[in-house]
Every structure is written in C-alpha cells, then in structure tokens.
A = this chain, B = another copy of it.
Amino acid sequence: MELKGFRFSAVEAAIKKPGRLDLALIFSDAPAQVAAVFTTNKVQAAPVMISRERASSGSCRALLVNSGNANACTGEQGRLDALECGRRAAESLGLADDELLIASTGVIGQALPMDRFRGAIEPLVDGLAAGTLENVAAAIMTTDTFPKLERRSGSAGGKSYGIAGVAKGAGMIQPNMATMLSFLVTDAAVDASFLKSAFAECIDASFNSITVDGDMSTNDTALIIANGAAGNPLIMAGTPEGDAFRARLLDVLLSLAKLIVKDGEGATKFVEVKVQGAVSKAEAKTAALSVANSLLVKTAFFGQDANWGRIICAVGYSGAQLDQGRVGIRFDDVVMVENGVFVGGNAEAAGTEVLQKKEFTVTIDLHLGNGEASVYTSDLSYDYVRINADYRT
C-alpha cells in the first residue's frame, strides 16, 4: 500500500536513555487537513496545550513526537521548551511554527533534555529521505513490548487511497477521549467536517472503549492527517465512499486499540466485556467499564477463576439500571448465570475452560432494553505490579 505525499523519519536522541529510536517526524509534502482529540485530564502536558490550539485550525503539515519524556507538569519552562523544539523542526522543514504539531510521552515532571533535542533535529529532518512509518511506530514506544501499526486501503472515484496509523499504549490507559498516542495518515481527499466527525465517532468506538488500568494520562493525543495526495474526488458524509472510508478508519483505530490492550502492562489475557440488554448504549458502556476496571474481576481473569460473582457485583455498583433477578452472564458460549443465579451443572468446569484461553468474551445481558456496548480489557497480573512499582527506577 502506498501513501502518497507523506514522508517519515525517526532517530535516536537519547531523551531518556541511549540505544533506541525516541524522536519521530511525520511530514506531508502539501498542506493537509487534521482532526484531533486530546486528553480530558485537567492536568495537561505542554505539547497537548500547544497542539490542541494549532490543530483547531484544521490544517497542518507535520508532527514531531518524542518518547521518554512527557513534558508534563514542567510549568512555563516546559512550554518554552516545547515551543523551541517545534520551532527548530518547523524551520528545518521550511514551515511556519503553527503548521507543525508536537506530542510527547514518557515520565511526568522532568525537563526536556534540550541539548539532545537540538542536536537531533537536523538528522531527523535528513532522515525523511529514507524513513518509514515502521520507524515512527518504534520511536513512540515506552513500556510497549511491540510496535503498533495498521494499514488499510480503499478507493474513491477510481483513485486508490491508504489509511495507516501507529499507536503507543501500555499504561495509563483508560477510555475517555484519546487515551494514548495514536497518529493516522491518509492520502485520501476527505471533506473537512466529515473527517472531523467520522474521526470522533470512530475514536469513541475504539480508543474510548479500551481500558488497561483506569488511569487517564496527561498527554493523550490521537490525530489523523489527510493530505488528499491520492487525487480522489472529495469523500463526503452520507455517500457510499464516505461509509467505506469510515469503516476503514474504524478498522484501523479498533485494530490499534486492541493491540494496545494486548500489550497492556503485564497482560496475559485479552477480554471483550460485552453488555447487552441495558436501557441505553451509554449505560451498557458504563456497566462494561465498571466490570473491565474492577481489580477483583481482573485478578480473577489472571487467576483463570470463573468468578462470575465479582462480575455481577461490579455491574451492580456501576450505576447502570439493573434488576438483579434478570441478569445473565456468559463466558464465550458457556452460560454461567441466568435470572441472577448460577446455572449449576457443568458450568463451573466449562466456564473455567473458557478463562484458560488467551482471548475470550464475557457477555452480560441485563434483559432491560436494547443498549449494547463492548469494552476491551486485559487482566491484572503480578507483572503489572512489577512494571509499575519499578517504572522510574
């Protein structure tokens, strides 16, 4: 799959430690549209505040991103540092400052190592000649154990186009707006307001439907840059081409979101928590999130314990409407609970067998209405504790 009019680069700037790519650049040869969502945390990193403002114009040319340092809680100096990094990259690229977005991920509260940034900008820009999106995916990793990249292709008006995206996740993953870093590029020409609304909708069904640990970061950013280089007629909302574009966009985002859960810190299980029969879609999601974030449920997944009692308990305190005498619970196709009570028989053994798999679905049917939602989550293992007790040290 070709992505016309985009170039990529990544270098080793030794921002946290040497020996790995940690500074990346995405560049569009021509002015491009951008749609973006950012963390709703009231504590926001300097690059989030700057990029939110710049993205609100709806257009950009480039994105500079580093891992190893979040540049969050760094005060006025952090803002000046972020601005300087952006300015140096923009100058090298021949852009105005506000045509370039910036993003950072890593430890909170430490000043950016500006000497290393300054020295890395020139090789980074030079690298656009030969760099790949794979390099970018590698450079944005923090505690991720594998790079996350997804590509899809489509066509509109006889012109083929691509959508590709990278993401990083692993910790501080909770669904509320963007919950990590994810950057998508497409060479399709897309109507600006459709791009914006389709991106927000697809984010809600993907990154806003995953949870690893319930913590929402100060740096979460997801954005898509569309440069129109494919030369297709503008893709509009409410057309077959628009629907197809949205479907591919969701496919990329949901695939990236699932990769983030699979690579969740210490995760040994990938679990879809599906709530159906709620009074509304919103309540279904509330209930699913409550189950997916319960420490008791997550440790039971880790222990491969078919402990449906903890699941119904977490639904009970979620705030979703509930009649405990109607609730049904299934592990994959194994019915565990009907009308709020354990079905007995072979269910314990059969349910335990499901939980021994690497991936499974927990379905909770409230039998009250038509609201349905899925949340994707991981288990909570010793390694989650180990990774997070040791992270900075």
Q: Which residues of A contact B (CB under 8 A)?
A: 40-44, 70, 72-75, 77-78, 107-110, 171-172, 174, 176, 213-218, 293-296, 299-300, 302-303, 305, 307-310, 312-317, 321-322, 324-325, 327, 337, 339-342, 380-382, 384-386, 388-393
Contact among B74, B77, B108, B309 with A310 in the assembled complex (CB-CB below 8 Å): B108
22 contacting pairs across A/B (C-beta < 8 A): A42-B315, A43-B317, A72-B313, A74-B341, A75-B325, A75-B340, A109-B308, A109-B341, A110-B342, A172-B296, A174-B317, A214-B293, A215-B310, A215-B313, A215-B314, A216-B316, A300-B389, A302-B389, A303-B393, A305-B391, A305-B393, A384-B385
Q: In the complex, which of the residues A42, A216, A296, A300 has the most CB atoms of chain B within 10 Å of its own CB atom?
A: A42
Q: Which residues of chain B are within 8 angstroms of A310 by Cβ–Cβ distance?
A: 108, 215
Q: In the complex, which of the residues A74, A317, A381, A392 has the most CB atoms of chain B within 10 Å of its own CB atom?
A: A317
How close is A267's CB to chain B, nearest CB, in angstroms?
13
The answer to whether A218 touches B313 (Cβ under 8 A) is yes
Copies, count: 2
The answer to whether B309 touches A73 (Cβ under 8 A) is yes
The answer to whether B381 touches A296 (Cβ under 8 A) is no
The answer to whether A108 touches B309 (Cβ under 8 A) is yes
Which residue of chain B has the shortest Cβ distance to A293 in the bound complex? B214
Contact among B75, B300, B315, B386 with A43 in the assembled complex (CB-CB below 8 Å): B315
Q: Could you tell me the dominant secondary structure of chain A's interface residues? A: loop
How close is A309's CB to chain B, nearest CB, in angstroms?
3
With A75-B325, A172-B313 already in contact, 9 other A-B pairs whose C-beta atoms are closer than 8 Å: A41-B316, A43-B322, A74-B341, A107-B309, A109-B342, A216-B313, A218-B316, A305-B392, A384-B385
Q: In the complex, which of the residues A78, A176, A299, A380 has the most CB atoms of chain B within 10 Å of its own CB atom?
A: A299
Q: Which residues of chain B are within 8 angstroms of A107 by Cβ–Cβ distance?
A: 309
How close is A338's CB to chain B, nearest CB, in angstroms?
10
The answer to whether B385 touches A317 (Cβ under 8 A) is no
